[in-house]
Amino acid sequence: MQQDGILPAFAAILARFAKTHQGVVTRDLRLQADLGIDSLSMIDLACAAEDAFGIRLPDEDIERFRTGFCSTRVGSGLPA
């Protein structure tokens, strides 16, 4: 997937878990503080992202998810 397509695709996944509209998901939203994603939901979110993008995320990468921006960078193989 092209880098510019990652955020919209991740935003759609994230919106399901945060029970919000995809349009409110931005790169700067904090997954836990702003969207209320707890640790269990974070694991589910990571699994959904792995399935959607055809990647595997090591546990230590999942722990680095703080914002939508970090998540899309880790998901694309870039440092957070």
Instruction: Tell me how far apart the alpha carbons of residues 31 and 8 are, in angstroms, rounded to a whole number.
Output: 15
Task: Report pLDDT digits (tens) over 11-62.
Answer: 888 888 888 888 887 778 888 888 888 888 888 988 998 898 888 888 887 7
Residue-level pLDDT at 22: 81
Dist. CA 23–CA 15, nearest whole Å: 9
Query: Residue 19 belongs to what domain range?
Result: 3-75
Q: Is residue 80 part of a domain?
A: no
Q: Phi, psi (5° rounding) for residue 30?
A: -85, 125
DSSP string, 31-58: TTTTT---HHHHHHHHHHHHHHHT----
> How many domains does one find in the chain?
1
Domain CATH number, residue 16: 1.10.1200.10
